[in-house]
Structures are given as C-alpha cells and as structure tokens.
Chain A
C-alpha cells in the first residue's frame, strides 16, 4: 500500500513539474492555466487520474524514444552527412522485439485499468439511490427512499449568454435547484431519459453515464468532502445541449438529513398553498404578469418571447389554431405535450396556478384576444 501511494505521489510530482515547465511559457497574468486531468475529490477520480498519468507517461516515454530516433536519424543520416544509404531492409529479430515489447507495456497498463473498472461497475450496497432523469434540457432528481423529487434548470440569465451582461464566475455551470448529497455515503445513481440520450457528468466524481430513453443505467460514487461540484450534459441532446448543467451540493451527513426534513416540510407547505391557489378565482390582471414570467422561463426558448416560434420547427403561438381555438384543446396540449416532438408535457412540471397563468397569457398576447381566463381549478380538474 505504501509503495503504491509512493508511486502515485512520485508520478504526481513529476507531472506537476512538467506542467509547471509548460506553464511558464503558457500562463498569462496571475491566472494559471491547468493542463492536467482534474484530480477530483473521490477515491475513484483520484485513481483514474493516476491511471491517466501512467498512460500519459508511457506515451511520453515511447514518444521520446521514437521521435528521438527520428530526429537523430534526420540529423545524422541526411544526404549531406551520410551520402551512401545502407541497404538493409529486413530483420526478423528486430521485428519480433518491437512486437513483443509493446505487448508487455500494454499488459502493464491493462492491469490497473481492469481493477479500477471492476470497482466502478460494482454498484452493490448503496446507502442512497437517486434516480436522475434527463429531458430536453434539464435534469430531474428523485430520491428513491423518499418522495422528494424536483427539476434542476440552468440559472444563468439569458443576458449573460447574449453578452449583454458581464458573465459571472459560474457562467453556464449554475442551476436553480442543485442535487444535494451527503458526504461519505455510497450513492447509487440510476440514469434515465424522457426524450433523447443525455449524459450526466461530474468530472470531480469521475461519474459519466448516459441517460437513455427506455433503459436505466447505473453508476455510483462516494464523496468524502463537502462542497459544490459542477458538471454538464456530455451527450449532444439538441439545441440547448450546452445549457444543461449539473450542480451537486455535498453536505455533511447531519446537514443532509436536516435538508431532507426541510424538503418534506416545504412540500406539504407547497401543497397547502396549492390548495389555497386553486380555491381562489383569479382575475386576468393577476394572471397575465404571472403567465408572462412562466412563459419566458419555460416556453420562450422555442416559441420565442414574441410568440412567433421558428418556421418549420416550433409553431407560432400568435394566431395559431391551438391558442385561439378551443380552450380545452389548448389546456390539453400544454399539459400533455405533443408526442415525439420537443413540446413536452408540462403538467408534471408546473403548478395548477402556473399552468392557468401561462395559458391565459398565451390566449391574450401577441394579437390573440380570446379575452378569457382559465382558473387553476379547471387545470386541477383536468389533471
């Protein structure tokens, strides 16, 4: 064990000094550029980084030998210095040697890779299981031992993306509701998807697993240190693939348990508010601003802020059959979505009040003048 740690430490020192050397030619200002694979915080991410270092050093050494030989021969066996070429063109012995040596090197690399892989694939004995469901373009987290579950959306304002505001530190890597996990517990992730293939990745845990519609994938981690860890969707999943961050907040165990309790309470509170909301009769003036807010944050990416949609892809809502036609049909489309398109079912994602507000907004904006209001109660009955 001691020897292994020693080797890992030595490799790291060597790598670091090499990095430092390159860095001198490459750094600008006080901000140092990082050239290495991220070490991460879990045992597995550190093991994987060590594996990366082993294979990198094998490649560097082989590269130095091979390229060294090439440069040597290019300098000494050029015509000006070596006018008469040798005539050899075969040697079975040499060929056997440079077939066998690479095989030995490969076996040496395959051993630690195999052992790490066996541990990565051992999903048994988890303390907590989280079901992660990807959909265009957000994550949903469900704690399977409880009834807690919620969506996690990107929180970077559109103005920063459009270069209208200065970009803040965690540009594109910030969400409204991060996944909260406890330290030092074996956490099993189940990955699923509602539409296309996504891939949930947190580099600091070295967990990357595809979320595939119709199938459930598994991965696990055990995080020793509390903190906030950031990652992204890694598999091209449509137009907002770049805007599907993963943020994980890791808390000490007691704090995590307290958080779970808080969530339970919040859920029941939310449901009491929800009851009050749907028993009230809302006016157009109350619903419109609320509806606009919901529209901008959930619908406008595709249908555009001015409701015009995008020709051939996202239908226009201004003067469309749905938004000016039968209100029941409109409600149905928003709640249940349209199969096989990016129009998803919003019923599980929005509250009764939010749905009522956004539908009211859509029917009374951009020249649509239905002049009618839909109440949260109607939405509730339609559920």
Chain B
C-alpha cells in the first residue's frame, strides 16, 4: 500500500493504486470485505425497493406507483435481496472466516475467488439498469413463472437472464472454492468432525449450490430459447405444460432457501456457546441435522405448487416430506436451548442477535409447518401469510444471523470493539420493527389478502398500515447499523486477540485486527 506515492514519474496515481489493489486482490480477507460491502450496498438498494412497496401499500388505492412499476419493484426487491444481499453476505463471511477457522493461509483457488466476486457488481448493475430500459424492468416476480416471464416478459427479460447466469457462475465458482479449501487446506489434526460448525454448514451449503445453480441456469436458458429461438419448453401452444417451469424452478428454489439459512445455523452455533460459556450441545447431531435438512430439501419442492393441480399422491408425498424437515430443524433449536441451559450467560449484541435469530426463525418454521398441510395451504397459498412466513425465516433468520456474525467478528476484522450501547439499541429497534412489519402479514393473509397486489380492499387496511410503519422504522434501524460498522472501522476500544472470553476456535488465536496473511505455517490442532 504505497498510498503516499504522489505524481513521481513511473509511479501510478494513488487512486489508480487503490482501485487496482481491490480489483486485482486474491487475498481471502480482502475479497471477503468486498463481498460484505457489495452485499451491504445491495441490501440498502433492495430495502429501498421494499420501502416503495410498503409506501404504496400504506393505504388502499394507487398512491405513488403504477401497477406495472409496482410489479417491477417487487421483482427486483426479491431478486436483489436473495442473490445480492443474503447470498454474497454469507460468501463474504465464508471468505473471511473459513481459512481462519481451519488454519489455512488462504482459499485454495485465490484467482478464481477474485473472479467470482468481480462478476457480481456487473451482474447487478445490469439487472438494476433494466429499470431504465424501454418497457421497464422484469415484472414477473422473483420466481419468474412462465409464460408471464417468457411469452409476456418485457424486452429487459434477456438482461435478467444474462444477469442470473452471471450470478450462477459466481456462486458455483465460490462453492467449488469453499469445498476445495475445506477438503484440502485444513490444519493438521483438524478432522472433519472437529471442524467448527460454520465450516460444516458452509460445506453443506456449497454442495447445495453446486447441485442447484446449474438447474437455475438451465431454467433461464430454456426461457431464452423459448423467447428467441422458437423452442417450446414452457409454451402450452407447443404442447408442453407451463407447470414444468415451476418444477424446475423450485427444484432449484427449495434448496436455495436452505442455502440462505444453513450458514446462519452455523453462526448461531458459534455465538451461543461463546456467550453461554459452555460447549455446544450435541455437536454431532448438529452436523447430521444440517445434512438431513440439505438432503430433504431436494424432495420437497412440490410444496410450493400445491394449487397447480398435482395428483393426490404427489400432494401427499410432498406434504409428508415437508413435515419431516421439522424434525432435524427442531433438533437444532433444542440443541441451542440445551447449550444455553445451565450456562453462564451474558448478552452482548452478537448474543442478542443470535437469540433473536433462533426465536424468530422458529416462528417462521412454525408457519412453514402449517403451510405444509395441503388442505390448509389451499387457503394460505399466495397470500400474505406466505409473505410473513418467508420474511420471518429470511429477515430475523438469515439477515439477523449475518448481523450477529458481523458484531461477533468485527473486532477480529477491524481490531476495534463496536459500540455496545448502539449495538443493543440496534438489536431492540430492529426486533421491534421486524415484528411490526411482518407479524401483521400473517393476519392479512389469513383474512384473504393475496400477495403481489398493488392495491387491496378495505378490510386489509389496518394491518397494512401497521406493516408500512414498521418497515419505515426497520429501514432506519439499518442506517444505524451502517453507522455502527463505519464507526467500528474508524476507531474504538482496542480489541484483544481473544475478543470474547468464552470464544473457541483458531480465529481467536491470531492478532486483532487479523493481519493480511495468517497461518502461513499451519497450526497444530489437537
């Protein structure tokens, strides 16, 4: 870092140096930082889109946006949150943490690591630029069901398809890198069953990614040829059932749901033992439960499609398989409670977020179990009850998990303690706001409000108003989070190497802030 270089002939301008350093870096910590900042930026963009939705739904009638633009906004909100905010955040954490946790000097394939990150800013620029194209952005929801997205999609759909391909390539490369790193670069003595749970959950997530991202790529490629090259993969006029699209999409989509939560499980399994000052309860069953959830995730896709006219046998199969997922998920929750049980707990911000994660994710799990019951699903399906369900597993689930991780490891990354008082304020306001936003959606859904509508009848007005107020508060609390993160990077109380007295793992044996290169000689794990 020769930032003082000035205009000496033969030397580059400092700004050029700065850009080149970040564009060309192959260091896992720097790439992790890039991923986290990209995810944070896209989180705010997709959040702003959500606020447009909530502003429009504040009252019945058309207030701010036209119906077609509303559909564009809700499509981009979903796509950017899933592929731009949640997934890159977990990949960023993996980059930062996995090498430090297994005692490796870096990721196994550092150049590919660089490439898999740098595809993403272009993919999302392209996707978001579709908002300014003639005909507008994709307007068919993040699930892009055919034929709404194929025959009837706007011209920008092709940019969307290319964008999804790029995200897919990035994810697959990232996943390969993680698997190769975990299988080859573990420190001597670190057997698979000694790996920290974050590493385990990410290993399983990476396998899910490799298995399903190509399926998504296949789906969008078929869309592309249907749109331009006269094929009829999803076109009823060509003698095909358009529902095949949904089978293919959800064969990707359901494992995708677990891709967005399993690393969160790993994070909670680090933080809860640390602040309970007690070893994780049932390490082995945690690993097996994660693997079971991942395997089951491949045979439950039909539960997204109960109203498409599946045969009775199909409905029963998918109902039973889906209900089964409650068992390993329950085991995980019980194990976390048992870890806390008779510990010696303190409640720093990471612990608060981890407990919030467990509780509110469980609420999302409960509604997931209710949704599995096919007859009841005929009433829940495509209503705000579903919107409430998946936002509970994603916001206080995946996103609270990421925030818990950020508070927990920020001192290691920056060398500074975050502001504990502000962190706690952030947790409590975010928790109140999340519930204010998403809990009333259960009720509007049960009362009969379909999802993805720009305008609604008067009976749903009260719940929607509460949700909208909650969402505005929720947006504000995340600005506080941004402030806390920047403040921690710029200064603050010096963090020790151990940071948390109860923390265990190799990452706490290296200095804070973690130097650019760590574990150049592997540590010995007993």
> Interface on A for B, CB 8 Å cutoff?
28, 33-38, 44-45, 47-48, 51-52, 55-56, 59, 62-63, 66-67, 69-70, 73-74, 77-79, 82-91, 94-95, 98-99, 102-103, 106, 109-110, 113-114, 116-118, 120-121, 160-163, 167, 169-173, 195-197, 199, 201, 203, 206-210, 212-215, 217-218, 231-243, 311-313, 340-342
Contact = CB atoms under 8 A, between A and B. Distances in A.
Given A59-B366, A79-B346, A214-B242, 11 more contacts: A34-B447, A86-B342, A161-B61, A163-B62, A167-B60, A214-B239, A231-B448, A242-B67, A242-B454, A311-B134, A312-B135
Contacts of B456: 172, 242
B63 interface: yes
Contacts of A114: 316, 319
30 contacts: A38-B446, A70-B337, A78-B347, A79-B344, A79-B346, A83-B344, A84-B344, A85-B277, A86-B342, A87-B278, A89-B339, A113-B373, A114-B319, A117-B316, A117-B319, A120-B374, A173-B457, A197-B145, A203-B448, A208-B378, A208-B382, A210-B309, A214-B241, A215-B243, A218-B309, A231-B448, A239-B67, A239-B68, A242-B67, A342-B152
B296 interface: no
Contact of A109 (B60, B323, B382): B323
A33 B307 contact: no
Contacts of B135: 311-313
A70 B355 contact: yes
A98 B333 CA distance: 10
Contacts of B381: 208, 234
B374 A38 contact: no
Interface stretch (B167-175, B205-213, B279-287, B419-427): B279-287
Size range of the interface on B? 35 or more
A47 B379 CA distance: 12
Contact of B337 (A66, A110, A169): A66
A232 B460 CA distance: 13
A35 B454 contact: no
Interface in B356-375: 358-359, 362-363, 366-367, 369-370, 373-375
A99 B331 contact: yes
Given A69-B341, A110-B319, A231-B448, A312 B155 contact: yes
Interface stretch (B82-90, B136-144, B468-476): B136-144
B192 interface: no
A117 B315 contact: yes
Interface string B109-135: 000000000000000000000000111
A103 B327 contact: yes
A196 B307 contact: no
Contacts of A311: 134-135
Contacts of A170: 457
B331 A98 contact: yes
A89 B330 contact: no
B324 to A, nearest CB: 7
A340 B227 CA distance: 10
A207 B344 contact: no
A99 B334 CA distance: 10
B133 to A, nearest CB: 8
Given A90-B282, A106-B326, A121 B338 contact: no
A122 B139 CA distance: 36
A56 B136 contact: no
Contacts of A94: 338
Nearest to B72: A239
A36 B136 CA distance: 39
Nearest to A174: B457
A67 B336 CA distance: 12
A95 B140 contact: no
Contacts of B488: none
A9 to B, nearest CB: 19
Contacts of A84: 344
Contact of A48 (B71, B140, B375, B455): B375
B330 A102 contact: yes
Contacts of B347: 74, 78
A59 B200 CA distance: 29
A67 B147 CA distance: 44
B247 interface: no
In the A-B complex, the 10 residue pairs with the smallest Cβ-Cβ separation, listed nearest first, are A214-B236, A312-B134, A312-B135, A242-B453, A59-B366, A86-B342, A217-B309, A89-B279, A239-B68, A85-B344
Contacts of B66: 239
Nearest to B152: A196
B282 A82 contact: no
B341 to A, nearest CB: 5
Interface in B418-467: 443, 446-448, 450-458, 462-463
Given A162-B61, A196-B152, A199-B307, A208 B145 contact: no
A102 B326 contact: yes
A320 B208 CA distance: 52
Nearest to A213: B236
A73 B281 CA distance: 15
Contacts of A160: 61
B308 interface: yes
Nearest to A76: B342
B365 to A, nearest CB: 9
A98 B285 CA distance: 12
Contact of A161 (B141, B374, B455): B455
B178 interface: no
A86 B343 contact: yes
A236 B74 CA distance: 11
B214 interface: no
Nearest to B277: A85
A91 to B, nearest CB: 8
Given A79-B346, A85-B343, A89-B278, A52 B370 contact: yes
Contact of B62 (A98, A161, A233, A312): A161
Contacts of B516: none
Given A77-B344, A206-B378, A59 B282 contact: no
A210 B453 CA distance: 17
A116 B375 contact: yes
Contact of A95 (B71, B331, B446, B450): B331
Nearest to B324: A106
A7 to B, nearest CB: 17
A47 B366 contact: no
B363 to A, nearest CB: 7
Contacts of B155: 312
B276 interface: yes
Contact of B327 (A106, A210, A233): A106
B15 interface: no
B447 A38 contact: yes
